[in-house]
């Protein structure tokens, strides 16, 4: 079976697949759909109020969405494994560029919009140099979800160093690291205990102890080509993954073990199960060009909603009741606005590096 990397064409941690290349007959649409779904769950987590509805279906699909971050992190390093382990400096530098452009670009853009918004409407959104400085240093401030991007950048640098120092044995070192970091996470011996950091700083830096094991998981899946091998046992893989996920979900196996902010081991296992389940999507059977275009439209711009949704919520909070009340309709409105901005921004930026802001 051909390597999955020949079927995948992924730009960055939150970005779905590129438009189909004519030379490639099939794509991993299952993982692309998973990433789009996870991006939607990010908006749900930051905006939805369970008090805003009694609809049992909505309450069910918006319940316990905390696995979106672990899944994103696992997928990010699974997708980037081949480039990182190629020891090709150009490919590695390109990954940092793709991560840094939105990390640096959006804080400046949103700060400018905040200034205009405050000036014209008399609001009090963050618009100072100090806010920008904190945002760029720690990935939190007025774009709180960028702690994730900060962790991606730092984790990538960490893994690159490990791989260059331990070229032949890097996978063994990574396994030792995941054990060490889970000890640090659950023993409480992390930076929050020893350093006098501000709340946002503790949040961003402390999360490293949760994110590194997830990154190692993604790299391990890539190293052993596990997802590709699962396709030989599709039914068994799907059944076992679903059973394990539901068992952990229903019986709270790790309920008394707390991580830094998440229950790291529990959510790591959930993330692996979800990645396995979605990876079994029958990509090879999708040949209809119109269906391919629909999938591409649905999955291609999932980065935009992640980068923009909190800011869009702030801008609309006083002017849209659905946004203010945190209704499910408000989530859809926010997501669609971010998605439209992503599409337009990507079309306008063309092939320039600015496209990484939107996709």
Answer yes or no: is pLDDT of 246 > 70: yes
Q: Which residues of 71-110 are buried (b: 16+ CB within 10 A; e: fewer)?
A: bbbbbbbbbbbbbbbeeeeeebeebeebbebbbebbbeeb
pLDDT band at 1 (very low <50, low <70, confident <90, very high): very low
Q: Of the given ranges (18-32, 162-176, 209-223, 294-308), which has the lowest mean pLDDT?
A: 18-32
- The answer to whether 336 touches 353, Cβ cutoff 8 Å, is no
Is residue 123 helix, strand or coil? coil
Closest-CA residue to 307 (of 131, 115, 142, 102): 102
Provide the pLDDT for residue 11.
37
pLDDT band at 250 (very low <50, low <70, confident <90, very high): confident
Provide the pLDDT for residue 23.
36
pLDDT band at 260 (very low <50, low <70, confident <90, very high): low
State the pTM of this model. Answer: 0.87
Answer yes or no: is pLDDT of 131 > 80: yes
Q: Which residue has the higher pLDDT, 183 or 4?
A: 183
Distance (Å) of CA 351 to CA 46, 151, 359: 32, 27, 11
pLDDT in tens, 190-206: 665 656 666 656 677 77
Answer yes or no: is pLDDT of 215 > 60: yes
Is residue 226 helix, strand or coil? helix
Distance (Å) of CA 132 to CA 63, 157, 178, 201: 34, 23, 33, 14
pLDDT in tens, 142-191: 998 999 999 999 999 999 999 999 998 999 999 999 998 888 777 766 66
Measured between alpha carbons, how far is 12 from 148 in angstroms, rounded to an integer? 13
Answer yes or no: is pLDDT of 343 > 80: yes
Please name the residues in contact with 41: beta carbons below 8 A apart, sequence gap of 6 or more.
65, 68
Q: Of the given ranges (12-26, 156-170, 171-185, 238-252), which has the lowest mean pLDDT?
A: 12-26
Provide the pLDDT for residue 287.
74
Mean pLDDT of all residues in the chain? 85
By CB atoms closer than 10 A (0-12, 13-18, 19+), residue 329 is middle
Measured between alpha carbons, how far is 257 from 211 in angstroms, rounded to an integer? 17
């Amino acid at each position: 079976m051909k390597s999955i990397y020949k079927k995948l064409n992924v730009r960055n941690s939150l970005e779905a697949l590129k438009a189909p290349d004519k030379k490639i007959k099939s794509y991993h649409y299952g993982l692309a759909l998973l990433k789009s779904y996870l991006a939607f769950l990010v908006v749900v987590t930051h905006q939805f109020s369970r008090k805003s509805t009694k609809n049992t279906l909505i309450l069910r699909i918006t319940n316990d969405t905390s696995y979106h971050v672990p899944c994103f992190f696992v997928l990010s390093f699974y997708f980037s494994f081949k480039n990182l382990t190629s020891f090709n400096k150009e490919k590695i530098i390109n990954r940092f560029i793709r991560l840094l452009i939105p990390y640096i670009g959006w804080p400046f853009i949103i700060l400018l919009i905040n200034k205009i918004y405050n000036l014209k409407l008399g609001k009090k959104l963050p618009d100072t140099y100090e806010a920008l400085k904190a945002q760029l240093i720690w990935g939190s401030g007025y774009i709180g979800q960028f702690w994730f991007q900060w962790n991606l950048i730092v984790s990538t640098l960490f893994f690159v160093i490990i791989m260059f120092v331990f070229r032949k044995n890097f996978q063994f070192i990574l396994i030792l690291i995941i054990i060490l970091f889970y000890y640090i996470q659950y023993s409480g011996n992390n930076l929050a205990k020893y350093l006098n950091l501000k709340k946002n700083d503790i949040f961003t830096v402390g999360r490293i102890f949760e994110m590194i094991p997830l990154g190692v998981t993604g790299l391990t899946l890539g190293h052993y080509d596990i997802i590709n091998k699962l396709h030989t046992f599709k039914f068994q893989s799907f059944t076992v993954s679903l059973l394990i996920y539901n068992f952990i979900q229903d019986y709270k196996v790790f309920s008394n073990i707390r991580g830094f902010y998440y229950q790291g081991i529990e959510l790591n296992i959930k993330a692996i199960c979800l990645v396995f389940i979605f990876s079994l999507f029958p990509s090879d059977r999708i040949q209809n060009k119109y269906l391919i275009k629909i999938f591409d439209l649905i999955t291609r711009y999932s980065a935009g909603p992640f980068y923009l949704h909190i800011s869009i919520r702030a801008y609309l909070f006083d002017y849209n009741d659905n946004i203010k009340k945190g209704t499910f309709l408000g989530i859809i409105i926010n997501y669609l606005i971010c998605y439209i901005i992503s599409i337009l921004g990507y079309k306008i930026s063309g092939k320039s590096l600015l496209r990484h802001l939107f996709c």
